[in-house]
Amino acid sequence: MAPTAAAAAVVTLGGKGAALTPAAVYALSLGLAEPAIDPSALQRLSTRGPSPQDTPGSLDVASALPLASRDEAAVAAASAPVAVALAAAIDCCASPLVRVVDAVAALSCEAARGDVAAFDVPTSGDGLSAKDEADVAADVKMLLFGSKLVGAAGGADAASFTKVPTVNGLFREAVRALHARVRIELNAPVKLGKRDAVQTGEGKEEALVALATQLARSVQAMLKLSVARARLCVGRIDDAELRKKLTDGVDIDDLKGMLDKVTIDSDAVSVLRGVYNSLLKFRDILAWEAAVAMAVIEMDSSIEKPQAGGENEVGSSTENPQASGEKPKGDKKSKKKKTLGKGTSAVLMLLRDHVTNGKEVLSVNSALLAEWGTELSLLFDPKCPRLVSLVDKVKEIVETNEVRRLPKIPKGTRDFGKEQMAIRERAFSIITGVFKMHGAVALDTPVFELRETLMGKYGEDSKLIYDLADQGGELCSLRYDLTVPFARYVAMNNISSLKRYQIAKVYRRDNPSKGRYREFYQCDFDIAGVYETMEPDFEVIKVLTELLDQLDIGSYEIKLNHRKLLDGMLEICGVPPEKFRTVCSSIDKLDKQTFEQVKKELVDEKGISNETADKIGDLVKTRGPPLEVLLELRKEGSKFMENAGSVTALNELEILFRALDKANATGKIVFDLSLARGLDYYTGVIYEAVFKGTTQVGSIAAGGRYDNLVGMFSGKQVPAVGVSLGIERVFAIMEQQEMEKNKIRATETEVLVSIIGKDLILAAELVSELWNAGIKAEFKLTTRIPNHLKYATQCGIPWMVLVGELEISSGKVKLKNLTSTQEEEVDRTEFAQVLKQRLRNP
């Protein structure tokens, strides 16, 4: 961000390599700096030809400066035309406010007793928040760190504070964008000998206006929010008369329509002036909010006021009554006051010192508040040297406390806690069991492949591949799926037949959303080799139904189609063969978009006629039970029966559907002509499983036949068919189900050996006997029996072995069944075998 306006003595214009800053332009416009024209610029200007008579709409800075000649004015105009100079002034005024608005919001949160939970913006990497929004929330929480005023439910109106991260984050984004553009424009090289000054910056005004208008919209939102927060603070003032004066003191009716007036002005300069004026208005309102928050804190006797140089300078709760000559009171509760956050304490001291000049505040009234508001508005002006101290202090607070921030993970990734890991391991166990039941062998491949291996296999989705920095002379990428690496493995090892499974992570540079990650597991089952027609296809789909049934996730359906049938449909509709793949990519979006949206893409982006798109729309509606739809497509007069590829596909599908019907596996299958699967390598049957329950996760598995993929690597064609289970989405379903049942167990512990004491030697002896007997056991040492019971109950451990002094002396142990709450004593030498029998026959 741009610094505040420095009181520079001289600002050089026109020099080769000279760098103009928004602060320098702002200082020039206020007369805080003197312009100096670089001699080389005047020399270049004199060799160019006649000086421009006038520079229409020329530099406002130049027109305001006492320049000796038109040539000097021309250099100044070339250095910063009107629009650029105005944008620079906006940038200079807005940039320091990025930190100030967060500090004032935190101060108001203290004064209004807001809930700090308002700033709990998710940063888990799920794409649920923008970076600037999350940064604002984190900064405000750092300012409030240590506060005893915030955090209590039922404080201030939550909406006035929950909107702060979003609104202030948008302001940060807008300021950063404008600053980047202004910086470019101010420092663009001006070759006066080759280009007229009037042409400098030509065509740039539109970009500046667009960015400044975006800034104005964010300012408007912050302005309204600032007024709302200030009024919440006013509501905590006991003096009714003062409260009424302050409430009536700000009229925001005059703000209505301000933004519209700014944006409808025809010329760039008028728009930018309007944005600048709205920014000044916001600065006044922000100062008023800060003054009100300060007054509320000053008048509240229950709040400990921070003192410069004292222990509570940054919000310490320590008081020293003797320091002021007061005697300590007998009632400890009466002298305990609530403290501000460490960051807000520092901010309050800076603001208070500015408006009071170190004098004690004896009473607060409306006149004093008005005076404070004026002083703070002047403080927030970049020409005030103290603004730098305020901005630096806020920056220091949030950056010094950076260590207290919780570390984050990248967007589109997630951590698996103990409960989630328990679910995942159970799911993997079921999945692996099904794969092995069908005779598949395990395979693992590198997490990254040569880029050439992956490129050209995924159609339009190739843009989602993660490329790695080249450090070893090879261009590599993270694997996008497990299918292409499997095909590469088959080709590289000259394998002609293989039934394999693989459970591993894949990576996609996608936009994260609920259920959509950038790093996730896939569980693949593939059969490669030459077999009878539909033989491996039947087994792969049967494996898929078994997986989803045994995972017991609830209702699902498997949509099924054939790539040759899809190509035949497109040919019937009149789509040129060279556009089959790109049209399929559009059709593949029908599960997320309406046909009207897909049609618009087909017509506007892919050059398909309206008539052809409508024909596609009619056919993709066809779906239903497999054998019924098959009969419909093969009936007399069907255009599909006139297409060779479609006839081949329908014959293959008849074999497949009859085999699945005999295996009682067609109940969950839907023959759906809208299923396209956007990946380029599919050549035959394609399918996709969709969860039909309440948890919205979309597709949970997909696959199909890819007869040509292996041949892309070796020239030897090895047909293959497979399915990939999107396990992350299955996890989400299983996790929700377990939460509803309220019985997620992170461990499989069967017995807790509870030593009522601290005898580790005894615990080691007893628990080792259980481990040696094959019993899953833990041990705990504590003298408090309730702690043993609490731990066993929380972990869901069914049995306890209780050993205290009485049991030790009698040579027995006490067994406790936590399900039935029954207890029994058994001999110390037999307890392991007794427990083994109890666990085997509960």
Q: How far apart are CA 37 and CA 73, in angstroms?
A: 9
pLDDT digits (tens, 9 = 90+) for 695-733: 666 788 999 999 988 988 888 889 999 999 988 888 888
Query: Is 640 contained in some domain?
Result: yes
Cβ atoms 683, 698 nearer than 8 A: no
Q: Let me know whether 657 and 790 are in one domain.
A: no
Query: Is 59 contained in some domain?
Result: no
How many Cβ atoms sit within 10 Å of the Cβ of residue 189?
8
pLDDT digits (tens, 9 = 90+) for 635-680: 888 888 988 889 999 999 999 999 999 999 998 999 998 888 766 7
Q: How far apart are CA 710 and CA 717, in angstroms?
A: 6
> Average pLDDT, stretch 50-63?
38
Q: How far apart are CA 213 and CA 202, in angstroms?
A: 19
Q: Let me know whether 240 and 385 are in one domain.
A: yes
In the prediction, which pLDDT does 654 show?
A: 94
Residue 44 has pLDDT above 60, yes or no: no
Q: What is the CATH number of the domain that holds 783?
A: 3.40.50.800
pLDDT digits (tens, 9 = 90+) for 222-276: 888 898 888 888 888 878 877 777 766 555 555 555 555 555 556 777 888 888 8
pLDDT digits (tens, 9 = 90+) for 747-757: 889 999 999 98
Query: Is 389 contained in some domain?
Result: yes
Query: Is 48 contained in some domain?
Result: no
Residue 69 has pLDDT above 60, yes or no: no
Q: Let me know whether 361 and 219 are in one domain.
A: yes
Q: Let me know whether 791 and 779 are in one domain.
A: yes
Q: What is the CATH number of the domain that holds 381?
A: 1.20.200.10
**Count of domains in the chain?**
5
Task: End-to-end CA distance of the chain: give it in Å, rounded.
Answer: 69
In the prediction, which pLDDT does 800 show?
A: 93
Query: Is 570 contained in some domain?
Result: yes
Residues of the domain holding 789: 751-840
Q: Let me know whether 113 and 250 are in one domain.
A: yes
Beta strands in 89-182 (DSSP E): none
Query: Is 746 contained in some domain?
Result: no
Res. 403 pLDDT band, cuts 50 70 90: very low
Q: Let me know whether 231 and 350 are in one domain.
A: yes
Res. 46 pLDDT band, cuts 50 70 90: very low
Q: How far apart are CA 288 and CA 228, in angstroms?
A: 12
Q: Let me know whether 72 and 92 are in one domain.
A: no
Using the 3D structure, point to which of 52, 78, 104 is the last residue of a domain: 78
Using the 3D structure, point to which of 78, 107, 131 is the last residue of a domain: 78
Q: Let me know whether 732 and 767 are in one domain.
A: no
Query: Is 404 contained in some domain?
Result: no
pLDDT digits (tens, 9 = 90+) for 768-780: 999 999 999 999 9
Q: Let me know whether 728 and 817 are in one domain.
A: no
> Average pLDDT, stretch 606-621?
86
> 3-state SS of 758-811?
CCHHHHHHHHHHHHHCCCCEEEEEECCHHHHHHHHHHHCCCEEEEECHHHHHHC
In the prediction, which pLDDT does 515 show?
A: 66
pLDDT digits (tens, 9 = 90+) for 186-230: 766 443 333 444 444 445 678 888 888 889 889 988 888 898 888
Q: Let me know whether 701 and 756 are in one domain.
A: no
Distance from chain centroid for Cα 767: 46
Query: Is 258 contained in some domain?
Result: yes
Q: Let me know whether 712 and 570 are in one domain.
A: no
Q: What is the CATH number of the domain that holds 542?
A: 3.30.930.10
Q: Let me know whether 657 and 528 are in one domain.
A: no
